[in-house]
Structure 1
């Protein structure tokens, strides 16, 4: 199921998304006793994480992962882990063992990708299949990339691994593979800004190439929900 929610401003998008995500986490805990969520980086999710930190959730029942990570130390200014910890995780009483960052210390991204894949498989007790996260948060770049799945890169071809090495030019990343994202129960895109209009148009076009606009590859088995502001949508008829 795909749903598109369009809001008149970025602030309205963030307010609606944070309420939706908090409710989704709580409902998942109520139903399953646990919630697994994979976070996105970037500026748009940060106030959402800050809002989650102020909510009254059962932190011991939430397990936090990341959909992608720049291959930098966790103390680096560009680290997605650092941003999420400062905005949310360091402010709440979540057990350390419930936080599952992508490792970036082996000086070999391929080794670290395989290490994290093994951690995910052990957590979900899934030796062969693609495990299903409850919630995966994603952004979209103006080139149509999502997570660290960039146009015409090798990461798009990986249909076997849970975690693979992505790259933006010379900048290396770790990223969930498209099949792992597509195994999720709920995928939520957060898209803001007029610079996203062309990519959004192509992602929703029947004729565009997913390898040119990788966000188009995301077609999960569960819910797919787009939170977008009117600047990103422009004149597109997405509802």
Structure 2
């Protein structure tokens, strides 16, 4: 794994850096093949990034959008990651509807919908069971507790190694989430972490030794590249090797 950590002065600078990195990676990817795959994160930090990307002139017909996790709510719900990304970004650009691959969350069986989305991923990437698709870009955030995607501390989802999609759990509420093997097969993982409340978790995640069950972001060690973008508030007092 190649890990790069950049500290930006504030959240505005972090968003600008992320926008540039994503734009450059899309261009690089499309110079090598005719499509680029991006999995999005939820939460408050990526929203201004999505608003910025909505203003860019990109080859939208060659970009395919996925989500790394999703709350088990309808896509019109205010807590939906899909809803946030559509409102901030996707509704404002000429991306073909077929290029938006949302997680199914309108059924009554999260596990069945996890299975359904896994089948959708395998069909898109043309991967057989036992092999793992490779996303070009996966955006991730990190909670104060060290969780990422919907991989929460001491939950069963952390140990799922034979699936692409599983059911995460937050305070008894189900969510669909990429599994650790799917995340770690990415060409680029881009972590966006802002705010002083993240310092304790960052120290634990960056430490040479630690408990990944307590701080699940430690599990994200991609075969490709991991880039962490931190604002100064998050990075203050953090030992960055």
Please report the TM-score for the alignment, with normalisation by the length of structure 2.
0.97
Equivalent residue, structure 2, for 1:130? 132
* Partners of 1:115 and 1:72 in 2: CA distance: 16
Shift of 1:237: 3.4
Contact 2:206-2:239 at 8 Å conserved across structures: no
The alignment partner of 1:31 has SS state of coil
Contact 2:153-2:215 at 8 Å conserved across structures: yes
Shift of 1:28: 1.1
Equivalent residue, structure 1, for 2:9? 8
* Partners of 2:27 and 2:113 in 1: CA distance: 32
Equivalent residue, structure 2, for 1:192? 194
Q: 1:179 aligns with which of 178, 181, 185?
A: 181
Equivalent residue, structure 2, for 1:54? 55
Equivalent residue, structure 2, for 1:96? 97
* Partners of 2:189 and 2:125 in 1: CA distance: 18
Aligned 1:35-46 pairs, distance under 5 A: 35-46=36-47
Shift of 1:140: 0.1
2:233 is the counterpart of 1:231: yes
The alignment partner of 2:218 has SS state of helix
Shift of 1:236: 2.1
The alignment partner of 1:200 has SS state of helix
* Runs (5+) with no aligned partner, structure 2: none
* Partners of 1:12 and 1:23 in 2: CA distance: 17
Equivalent residue, structure 2, for 1:144? 146
Shift of 1:51: 1.1
* Partners of 1:88 and 1:30 in 2: CA distance: 24
CA distances 1:134-181 after superposition (whole Å, capped 9, x unpaired):
000000000000000000001001001100000111111000001000
Contact 2:137-2:188 at 8 Å conserved across structures: yes
2:77 is the counterpart of 1:76: yes
The alignment partner of 1:188 has SS state of strand
* Partners of 1:116 and 1:63 in 2: CA distance: 15
Equivalent residue, structure 2, for 1:169? 171
Contact 2:196-2:234 at 8 Å conserved across structures: yes
Q: 1:157 aligns with which of 153, 156, 159?
A: 159
Would you identify which runs of 4 or more consecutive aligned residues in structure 1 move more than 3 Å? none
Please report the TM-score for the alignment, with normalisation by the length of structure 1.
0.98
Contact 2:203-2:239 at 8 Å conserved across structures: no
Q: Aligned-residue CA RMSD in angstroms?
A: 0.9
* Partners of 2:167 and 2:236 in 1: CA distance: 33
Contact 2:187-2:224 at 8 Å conserved across structures: yes
Shift of 1:26: 1.9
Aligned length: 239
